[in-house]
């Protein structure tokens, strides 16, 4: 594009901005509108002058995108500009649909690997398997590309082909695969089933369109096939949220029609809204346990918070993320959109669980948590005390598993992933997903296989010792204590063989999950992991003990972990 064309486009843009500014001016009945009009004019003239006179060629589109992003970054992380080029990703966030091959991918050295093809979608139907290394897409090398870059070229309009050159473990020659893209609709409920006698389980991974219907269908199916159903576990762990109306409709499955689920309050009057249950519930009496953790946010917090406030069920796990903000989308010109925070939401007790204050920033631009002095107590329907300003606190807390340093290292180096690929190559089939267990003999093979592999890690004890050494040097004690510090360093230096044995249980579990996924995909992986899940076990225990369940809802139970 030559400079004349650029200048011409800039002039058109400036005219458009000027017209917008004049419209604002025409309605500038307040100082606020005058400020908007004035600053639009300043920005338009500055943008024109820089792009016209700057010594080197500029990229007006990139400059404008950076300016917009920088401006919105000063508000909150959820107010975003969505250009036309990113609408496919936005569509996926709201509908769970996109055009593509239907597979998770991960970085593997200089290339990208298929980590989990979705069962029944193009990648799996076209013969791609976990562990396949993508070398080229449509004849172009992807060496050095990251997952986002490769994801964009794999996505596209349904019924269009994409040609992949892949390298597969156990094959001497590279393989060419032509995959026809489809409309991919990721299931909101990838797994539901029975986890114990009388206890059903439903896993919801996102709140896109039809999330509440998917959960409803799963619960009805569980009730139909299990007449002795005593309780339901709804798993919202790691669920980042999504559509507000789906959160309302999901809560509606368990509460009376007409019950207020959530209300919103914003600067604009149209966001002073109350959202009530509009439909007949599926079940008003079936005991409910909702699993949450730090990754449960937004719509997940509306559901767990509403069920807790209405004393309709119990919440088990860890404190949730603390996002009490509502976003809506506004259409912009050139098929772009603005996702903007328009309100805060309040659950039935009247509390808002927003944990961070984005409206008041520190001098360095950071934001702080809502201070304890401003946190207010509210009451549930039964009179139990709950608090605002920091996410939803579980009724029964379960300490999260902290992964060992060696497991983190093995995962990050893709060594567990690679061993599962080899295992599948050498074992055409395994037993059921739920019952599969890795033998000690096979685990020892894994440890042997690791001997010539590169992986390392630093334990917290080693980090603390290094910090102690620095302080000793600064305070001039190191010369006297150097021998003792070196001896201590030798004692605490990790031994990989020892750690592989010491953390055998958790490493085996991770290996089993990865291996099961090779045969039974995501559904099988979830089914296998549930049998060893501490939160699921705790929720099951409570649902089977109706006396304990009732005491929790009546406020007569004090969790020793929450005191």
Catalytic center residues: 298, 309, 323
Q: 200 with 229: CB under 8 angstroms?
A: yes
Q: What is the C-alpha to C-alpha distance for residues 101 and 443, in angstroms, rounded to an integer?
A: 34
Q: What is the C-alpha to C-alpha distance for residues 405 and 493, in angstroms, rounded to an integer?
A: 13
Contacts (Cβ under 8 Å, ≥6 apart) of 283: 219, 223, 253, 254
Q: What is the C-alpha to C-alpha distance for residues 184 and 164, in angstroms, rounded to an integer?
A: 18
Please name which of 311, 296, 336 lies closest in space to residue 256, comparing C-alpha atoms: 311
Structure tokens at 476: 């001039």
Neighbouring-strand partners of residue 263: 274, 346
Q: Where are the beta strands (DSSP E) in 300-456?
A: 314-317, 325-331, 337-346, 356-361, 367-369, 377-379, 385-387, 396-397
Q: What is the C-alpha to C-alpha distance for residues 371 and 280, in angstroms, rounded to an integer?
A: 40
Neighbouring-strand partners of residue 182: 100
Q: Please report where in the chains the tokens 């093979």 appear, as a residue.
A: 445
Q: Where do runs of H (alpha helix) occur along 27-105?
A: 31-53, 60-73, 87-95
Three-state DSSP string of 149-178: HHHHHHCCCCCCEEEEEEECCCCCCCEEEE
Three-state DSSP string of 404-443: CHHHHHHHHCCHHHHHHHHHHHHCCCCCCCCCCCCCHHHH
Q: What is the C-alpha to C-alpha distance for residues 255 and 119, in angstroms, rounded to an integer?
A: 34
Q: What is the C-alpha to C-alpha distance for residues 306 and 244, in angstroms, rounded to an integer?
A: 13
CA torsion 114-116-122-125 (nearest 10°) is: 100
Q: 153 with 138: CB under 8 angstroms?
A: yes
Q: What is the C-alpha to C-alpha distance for residues 203 and 198, in angstroms, rounded to an integer?
A: 17
User: Looking at residue 547, what DSSP letter applies?
Assistant: H
Q: What is the C-alpha to C-alpha distance for residues 210 and 220, in angstroms, rounded to an integer?
A: 15
């Amino acid at each position: 594009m030559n400079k004349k064309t650029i200048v011409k486009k800039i002039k058109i843009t400036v005219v458009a901005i000027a017209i917008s500014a004049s419209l604002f001016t025409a309605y500038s009945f307040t100082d606020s509108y005058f400020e908007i009009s004035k600053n639009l004019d300043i920005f338009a003239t500055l943008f024109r002058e820089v792009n016209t006179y700057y010594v080197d060629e500029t990229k007006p589109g990139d400059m404008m995108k950076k300016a917009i992003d920088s401006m919105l970054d000063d508000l909150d992380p959820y107010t975003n500009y969505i250009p036309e080029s990113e609408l496919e990703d936005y569509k996926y966030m709201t509908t769970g649909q996109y055009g593509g091959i239907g597979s998770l991918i991960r970085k593997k050295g200089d290339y990208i690997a298929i980590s989990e093809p979705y069962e029944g979608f193009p990648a799996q139907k076209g013969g791609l398997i976990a562990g396949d290394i993508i070398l080229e897409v449509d004849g172009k090398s992807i060496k050095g590309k990251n997952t986002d870059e490769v994801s964009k070229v794999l996505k596209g309009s349904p019924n269009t082909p994409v040609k992949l050159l892949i390298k597969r473990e156990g094959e001497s020659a590279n393989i060419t695969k032509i995959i026809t893209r489809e409309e991919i609709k990721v299931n909101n409920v990838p797994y539901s089933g029975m986890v114990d006698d009388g206890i059903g389980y439903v896993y919801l991974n996102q709140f896109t369109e039809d999330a509440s219907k998917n959960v409803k269908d799963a619960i009805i199916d569980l009730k139909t096939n299990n007449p002795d159903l005593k309780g339901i576990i709804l798993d919202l762990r790691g669920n980042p949220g999504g559509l507000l109306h789906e959160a309302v409709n999901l809560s509606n499955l368990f509460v009376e029609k007409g019950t207020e689920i959530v209300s919103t309050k914003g600067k604009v009057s149209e966001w002073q809204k109350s959202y009530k249950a509009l439909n007949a519930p599926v079940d008003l009496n079936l005991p409910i346990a909702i699993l949450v953790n730090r990754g449960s946010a937004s719509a997940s917090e509306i559901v767990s918070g509403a069920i807790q406030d209405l004393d309709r069920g119990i919440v088990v796990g860890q404190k949730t993320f603390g996002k009490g903000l509502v976003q809506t989308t506004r259409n912009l010109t050139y098929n772009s959109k603005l996702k903007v925070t328009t309100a805060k939401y309040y659950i039935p007790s009247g509390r808002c669980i927003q944990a961070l204050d984005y409206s008041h920033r520190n001098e360095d631009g950071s934001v702080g948590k809502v201070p304890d002095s401003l946190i207010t107590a509210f009451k549930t329907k039964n009179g139990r005390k709950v608090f605002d300003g920091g996410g939803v606190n579980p009724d029964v807390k379960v300490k999260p598993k902290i992964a060992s340093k060696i497991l983190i290292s093995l995962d990050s180096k893709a060594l567990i992933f690679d061993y599962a690929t080899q295992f599948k190559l050498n074992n055409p089939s395994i037993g059921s997903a739920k019952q599969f267990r890795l033998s000690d003999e096979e685990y020892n093979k894994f440890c042997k296989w690791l001997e010539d592999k590169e992986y390392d890690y630093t334990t917290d004890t080693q980090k603390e010792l290094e910090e102690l050494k620095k302080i000793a040097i600064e305070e001039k004690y190191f010369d006297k204590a150097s021998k003792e510090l070196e001896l201590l360093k030798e004692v605490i230096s990790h031994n990989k063989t020892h750690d592989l044995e010491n953390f055998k249980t958790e490493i085996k579990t991770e290996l089993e999950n990865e291996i099961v996924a090779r045969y039974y995909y995501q559904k099988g992986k979830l089914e296998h992991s549930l049998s060893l899940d501490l939160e699921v076990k705790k929720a099951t225990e409570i649902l089977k003990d109706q006396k304990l369940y009732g005491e929790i809802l009546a406020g007569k139970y004090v969790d020793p972990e929450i005191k």
